[in-house]
Chains A and B, each alone.
Chain A
């Protein structure tokens, strides 16, 4: 019998995301031991803009990971049922859903503006002939009920309440930040003291240890501006989160959409979809591009001709059309085989994965061409020639000598693709070949909200939130990519 009050559900995309994170973690551990790589990453770490973007990306990633821990809650035992057989809810929820429960569980009837107390559309008032904007079921419901003509008093009351809650939230965020800063500093000081003691106790390797200690200290002082920037970013994030929490206890901070769902909740949920598409696609693309690119460049001959033909053909089809054609076909496949999926969440998940697969299969060509060119160059270099002269096998040369020397290109291409894919998702969803309409994503949000601009007065908050969240995510990714590229570009190092 399951002792947990819920049943853990691992969707396929969750599993892949966690596998990817584990792979990145292992790669990072490996890269730490490689001196040139460590030097390049140290340059990234000393870059203020890069570290600020990295912090923001990590915040997005945290939300995405929280949203990838799925479970099905156990339903309360109804009398008459066997108590030893727990029943779980059909709906698959994530940890993020649980954290955002106040946002999720207080829907309104339809549109309402950010921090509004009244619905956006007029409705007949009960008991009268008049039509007016009714009060919201949740947003500002704690404020006093306004009678006829007391609207101004209500607005003033709301203004005061918003300021109060916002201030409380900001203070909470600030305190949290101070606490975190304090803890980090204590840990750092303790760590340094530890190292210092080790240096003092060592006898044979003392000089070496001393040197390491001094370099570490030098690195940490040269990183000081970047560190300050990171902690300031964290401060901003903490305060913003605090304000959102403070206001979120009484209002819909970013308003509600057509069916009354909280826009802030939708925006936060969209992050996972964007991240998945940006990362899992590269997971599909990477092996294909690396294997084919190296094979074509290293083996030459008919293999090269075949692979070149393959990617020229794929490349010559306009990307969006190829994606559209593939997605249409996949849709028919999913629709004609409903027996493959047990829940709607699983079907939406399969569609998301299929979209990543299709995007990956259509976007490997650029990287493969790049890697082919680079392999052609590497193949003629002395160390490869020497390996060949010593009788090292072709596979071994490709794995041990060519591949490691291509890794920086692969890395840069991956980070560069990420932002493009996040933007592409929105466009594809608009065209109708994106994620499942039931999946919350920036694309589906924009698609649902875009007709509402024509209304008068305008419903702008859904679009504005989706675009802002997407902009921040993509901008952070772009800035980080720039820094990574500069750090790894051998010509840029003076």
Chain B
């Protein structure tokens, strides 16, 4: 297992290199640093000196990929690609346009993000599985049909609507929780309840419907019939056999949810004024702060790769037949 983990982590290196190269191409080759300087400085202040100064301040005045004038290793290291992209492997993300250190900012903002994403994720998974099991228990009945219709309707509603509607109803009309904001410690709970609730509801339709399909597929298998023949109760069948065996496809699907979770928290954080990574990214996009966007892309892909690895490891926990070599 350890060997497997190490090998998988090594596989991640070329992928991260590819991610870096891709973002580098996007940010520096499609538009030269001169274009970006002109864009950032605005039409009024564009002079050759100003552009030079802008580039020098941000370290964009080096050659892009290959420095012919330097000696030895510096030929490859004194370049924009090395300094801006490769250094991210060492956790050095450079500075944002407002001069703050990006790595430090990320460290501070990770906690609020996790405080929303983790409860949303766990609760969402639990509620969706419970709902799907309920539908499967009453399968081929009017209740099941109504549940499926509800799921399709819920997944047809824009995520923005859940947030805006929830904020309006719970925070503004009923005034149960503050509309937005964040605090540290236990007081954060009252700020977190609504975003977590909305996140769970927004994801319920699609995931419950999908889990229902998985359970239905599992319930028509022979081992289920055998279990019933041996007198196992319906709930026993559902929890003891169907749920256990459906775990593998569910776990596989949960990985697909991790990137969307990131995206969801992007919206949630910015609507609820939570100082997490999502709102940081949105602010950076709106301010066209390329170094922050680049750093977030890198971190996002690292998280995704870690998530893939975690899925594989979770297989061994869910299914004793799976062993990682």
Q: Contact residues of A with B, CB < 8 Å?
A: 309-310, 312-322, 324-326, 328-330, 332-333, 335-336, 419, 423, 426-427, 430-433, 442, 446, 450, 453, 458, 463, 467, 470-471, 474-475, 478-479, 482
Contact = CB atoms under 8 A, between A and B. Distances in A.
Nearest to A476: B156
Given A328-B290, A427-B158, 17 more contacts: A313-B18, A313-B22, A314-B22, A317-B301, A322-B297, A329-B27, A336-B35, A419-B156, A431-B267, A431-B282, A432-B282, A446-B158, A450-B164, A458-B168, A471-B157, A471-B158, A474-B157
B182 interface: no
B285 A479 contact: no
Given A318-B304, A463-B164, A431 B26 contact: no
Given A318-B304, A324-B293, A427 B160 contact: yes
B113 interface: no
B285 A324 contact: yes
A316 B285 contact: no
Nearest to B294: A325
B286 A317 contact: no
A317 B297 contact: yes
Contacts of B296: 321
Contacts of B274: none
The listed residue with most A CB atoms (<10 A of its CB), out of B22, B286, B290, B294, is: B22
B249 interface: no
A470 B160 CA distance: 11
Contact of B164 (A432, A442, A453, A482): A453
A130 to B, nearest CB: 31
Contacts of B152: 475, 478-479, 482
Contacts of A325: 23, 26-27, 293-294, 297
Contact of B156 (A333, A458, A471): A471
Contacts of B22: 313-314, 317
B53 to A, nearest CB: 19
Nearest to B285: A324
7 contacts: A321-B300, A328-B293, A446-B164, A471-B157, A471-B161, A478-B152, A479-B152
Contacts of A474: 156-158
A329 B26 contact: yes
B317 interface: no
B285 A433 contact: yes
Contact of B30 (A312, A333, A431, A475): A333
Interface stretch (B118-126, B129-137, B258-266): B258-266
Nearest to B220: A491
B38 A318 contact: no
Contact of B267 (A309, A430, A433): A430
A332 B34 CA distance: 11
B74 interface: no
B35 A313 contact: no
B159 interface: yes
A446 B160 contact: yes
Given A316-B15, A316-B19, A430-B267, A478 B155 contact: yes
B31 interface: yes
A336 B31 contact: yes
B14 interface: yes
A328 B282 CA distance: 12
A319 B160 contact: no
A427 B266 CA distance: 10
Interface in B277-302: 281-282, 285-286, 288, 290, 293-294, 296-297, 300-301
B87 interface: no
A318 B263 contact: yes
B305 interface: yes
Contact of B159 (A312, A319, A427): A427
Contacts of A322: 297
Given A453-B168, A474-B156, A479-B152, A332 B293 contact: no
A467 B26 contact: no
A313 B19 contact: yes
B282 A332 contact: no
Residues of B contacting A: mostly: helix
Contacts of A324: 281, 285, 293
Interface in B153-198: 153, 155-161, 164, 167-168, 172
Interface string B240-275: 000000000000000000011011001100000000
B106 interface: no
B300 A470 contact: no
A317 B301 CA distance: 5
B300 A318 contact: yes
B115 interface: no
B261 to A, nearest CB: 9
A336 B152 CA distance: 44
B224 interface: no
Nearest to B261: A318
A328 B168 contact: no
A467 B161 contact: yes
The listed residue with most B CB atoms (<10 A of its CB), out of A314, A322, A330, is: A322
Interface in B4-55: 14-16, 18-19, 22-23, 26-27, 30-31, 35-36, 38-39
B297 A328 contact: no
A315 B18 CA distance: 11
A456 to B, nearest CB: 9
Contacts of B290: 328
Contact of A335 (B39, B157, B159, B161): B39
Contacts of B14: 309
Contacts of B294: 325
A326 B26 CA distance: 6
Contacts of A328: 285, 288, 290, 293
B304 A315 contact: yes
A316 B160 contact: no
A316 B304 contact: yes
A423 B159 CA distance: 8
Interface string B296-325: 110011001100000000000000000000
Nearest to A467: B161
A469 B305 CA distance: 38
A191 to B, nearest CB: 36
B266 A336 contact: no
A453 B173 CA distance: 11
Q: Which 7 residue pairs are nearest across A and B when measured between Cβ atoms?
A: A313-B18, A318-B300, A475-B156, A316-B301, A474-B156, A320-B263, A316-B304
A313 B301 CA distance: 8
Given A336-B31, A432-B282, A316 B305 contact: yes
Contacts of A442: 158
Contacts of A310: 18
A176 B38 CA distance: 58
A102 B280 CA distance: 44
B262 A318 contact: yes
B48 to A, nearest CB: 16
Contacts of A432: 282, 285-286
A319 B263 contact: yes
Contact of B300 (A317, A433, A467): A317
